[in-house]
Amino acid sequence: MARIILPFLALLAVLDVTQAQRPGAASFVVPTAFPTSVFSSYYVKAAPTNEPQPAIHDPVLNITYPLNLTNPETIPLADLDPVYYPPAIANFSEVTSEALVKLALAEINSIIYESGGLSGNCSKCIAALSVGKMLAQTVPSYVPAAMVSLCQSTGFASNSSCQTSYGAGNFGAIWTQVLALADVTGLDGRYICNTLSTTFCSVPTTSPLNVTSLFPKPKPKNATAPKASGNLVKVLHLSDFHLDARYSVASEANCSSGLCCRYSAASTSQAVFPAPLYGAYKCDTPYFLGLSALQSIASLTGTGDTCSSPAWTIYTGDLVSHDPENEMSQAYVEYTETSIYSMFKSYIKGPVFAVLGNHDSSPENIDAPHKLPGPLGQQFSWNYEHLSGLWLNNGWIDVATAKEAATHYGGYSVKNHLGLRIITVNTDFWYRSNYLNYINMTNPDVSGMLAWLINELQGAEDAGERVWIIGHVLSGWSGTNPLVDPTNLFYQIVDRYSPHVIANTFWGHTHEDQVMIYYSNNGTVMNSSTAQTPGWIGPSVTPLTNLNSGFRMYEVDTGSFDIYEAYTFYSDVNAYSTLNATGPTYQFEYSTRDAYGAAAGWPTTAPLNATFWHGVTEAMVTNRSLVTTFNTYQGKSSIKSPNCTSDACAEAKICYMRAGSASLGKNCSQGFDSVQSPYTGKNF
């Protein structure tokens, strides 16, 4: 009898441990029935052969968005939003304006082809910019068409790409502002030319940063963080939803360019891989998938009742799908913001603290410093006012905070009900694809956002508060997404106020499960004693590109606001094409402490802080199986993720994890940062 009972008791012990390693159910199978009660009315109801078209009512603008905005068969192809040009220095007649354009294009062509054509040196590009600047200051409204013409005539890109990049309603008016206002013969010009093509100018190196008088007070000696209370609460982390309200079931899901799963008569009738109802690896999030993720949260995280609901939720940006720019509009952005935040309100109890992502604007990626002249400094206020109004309407922030967000580029600082100060920042102001950043690159904080952040952190230090910083575009990792000078400044700010004030930072944007570590003294020495603050990069709900869908939950101490456990969940997108009797399955993927703690020699009672993560990177140096594990989780266990088995890959991953700024990330070997193979260089 003992031979039967003892093994059975041992099995029970294992099962108990397994249950203890996750906060809720091991998996959740989504019901096939679409949860129609989420929206009050529909233009087109959901069916097994089509996505729904809900009639979205905007409580801020008090409008209901029309069906043709999102109907897959009637996507608007012309952006009719207002465009903004820099002020002209004089008024010219049409004849004179056209003559100026003709002369300018001839001069630029002469510069380009005088020796070697487009692949010339940096000085040629800057000389061409100088001609463009003259044109942008004299006849700005003519510049977009001139840029399209020049792009097409030189073969710089395809005709359609030239129009998408430089058409007035796309990025043409933005580039006109840049040309008119930037110092094209100085640092600005070198950045612009490098952005146009790395063959024109090499990327500028990090500029020296003068930290004299940067901070109101010196860092207190022997400053310590508050002690842990021993009381843990659950905090949800969602990121990169990228709702595709125009998703077309049965269209081509394996297209060769652009966003797949989009309607066309040919793609729907001749699809080699018909788009499944719930999504695919080269597509953004259809309604069926987005709501499946939200339906699974309560069961998987154990937050299904009032007593165990999330204490709060963070959302690290990107709501809008990856549409071509000519299909984008302010209305489409506002529709998506309204729809997703209403879905969050339906499924997530407690406040949601959100940030603006680079795709949550029109044109995408672009935000303007308030210092730009005239109406240019307020050209994106429509978005900040709309977002802050939605957050206020959902009861997540109060009136004063909403006003702050409306005037601070969507960023705000708020103390939550448990005493944690949450500061959200608009990181488009260090994103390389925000072209307006190339105006006055000698100032790493041209928007004033980081000066505002310093003031908020100083106030938190004076009040003895702990802080979480939340942004979208990460400040470091491989250094390919952000600009070096603003993130170098941010790194100094984190150094000054860590670890006694800043407990954690949180990011999105890459769609992958990653982490960064911030060290003291600008990362000049990286060891366990200099590791100060972790940067948690949240996995995306969208599968784009070649990733599974996922989200994360933290267990957070209410005294120190350190993280003591992190659980990640995912759904296997590869299985969606075979679903029949059920919806997708979301399941527990891993516990951060269980995955890395023992290998790093980390005490079971210590928080998962920067020292923990540095210990993980040290263990990875000798234990390459940890690198393999990290690489698997980076893609949310996607079958599409390439292996990381070479020494070069392992060393690069470790380097990225230790790189909290773009300048540090650029010092790492490049090419191993993403698992979205065979993709590289995507504008997320």
Q: Which of 519, 494, 479 is nearest to 663 (CA)?
A: 479
Evaluate whether 514 touches 473 at the Cβ level (below 8 Å): no
Q: For residues 351 and 314, give the distance between their C-alpha atoms in angstroms, rounded to a whole number.
A: 9
* 240 assigned ligand-binding residue: yes
Evaluate whether 664 touches 477 at the Cβ level (below 8 Å): no
* 509 assigned ligand-binding residue: yes
Evaluate whether 174 touches 143 at the Cβ level (below 8 Å): no
Q: Which of 193, 259, 181 is nearest to 446 (CA)?
A: 181
What angle, rounded to 10 degrees, do the helices at 122-138 and 173-181 form? Answer: 100
Pairing of strands 352-354, 502-507: unpaired
Q: Which of 411, 405, 427 is nearest to 490 (CA)?
A: 427
Evaluate whether 172 touches 144 at the Cβ level (below 8 Å): yes
Q: Which of 341, 352, 253 is nearest to 574 (CA)?
A: 253
Which pair of structure tokens corresponds to residue 87?
A: 């002020």
- Quickly count: other Cβ atoms within 10 Å of residue 121's Cβ: 13
* 237 assigned ligand-binding residue: no
Q: For residues 658 and 519, give the distance between their C-alpha atoms in angstroms, rounded to a whole number.
A: 8
Helix (H, G, I), strand (E, B) or coil at 282: coil
194-197 contacts, C-beta under 8 A, 24 or more apart: 195/432, 195/435, 195/438, 196/125, 197/118
Backbone angles phi, psi at 354, to 5 degrees: -120, 160
Decide: residue 424, CB within 10 A, 0-12 exposed, 13-18 middle, 19+ buried: buried
Q: For residues 189 and 181, give the distance between their C-alpha atoms in angstroms, rounded to a whole number.
A: 11
* 305 assigned ligand-binding residue: no
Which pair of structure tokens corresponds to residue 338?
A: 């309204």
* 322 assigned ligand-binding residue: no
Q: For residues 181 and 436, give the distance between their C-alpha atoms in angstroms, rounded to a whole number.
A: 9
The secondary structure of the chain in percent helix, strand, coil, rounded to multiples of 5, reads 40, 15, 45
Alpha helix positions (H), 73-171: 94-113, 122-138, 143-154, 159-166
Question: Is the alpha carbon torsion for 473, 317, 54, 45 positive or negative?
Answer: positive
* 511 assigned ligand-binding residue: yes
- Quickly count: other Cβ atoms within 10 Å of residue 250's Cβ: 17
What angle, rounded to 10 degrees, do the helices at 610-622 and 624-634 form? Answer: 120
**How far separated are the first and last CA of the chain, in Å rounded?**
61
Alpha helix positions (H), 464-525: 484-496
Backbone angles phi, psi at 135, to 5 degrees: -65, -40
Q: For residues 362 and 134, give the distance between their C-alpha atoms in angstroms, rounded to a whole number.
A: 27
HEC readout, 404-471: HHHHCCCCEEEECCCCCEEEECCHHHHECCCHHHHCCCCCCCCCCHHHHHHHHHHHHHHHCCCEEEEC
Q: Burial letters for 168-200: b for 16+ Cβ neighbours within 10 Å, e otherwise?
A: bbbbbbbbbbbbbbbbbeebbbbbbbbbbeeeb
What angle, rounded to 10 degrees, do the helices at 647-657 and 624-634 form? Answer: 70
Binding residues: 240, 242, 318, 358, 472, 509, 511
Annotated binding site for Zn(2+): 240, 242, 318, 358, 472, 509, 511
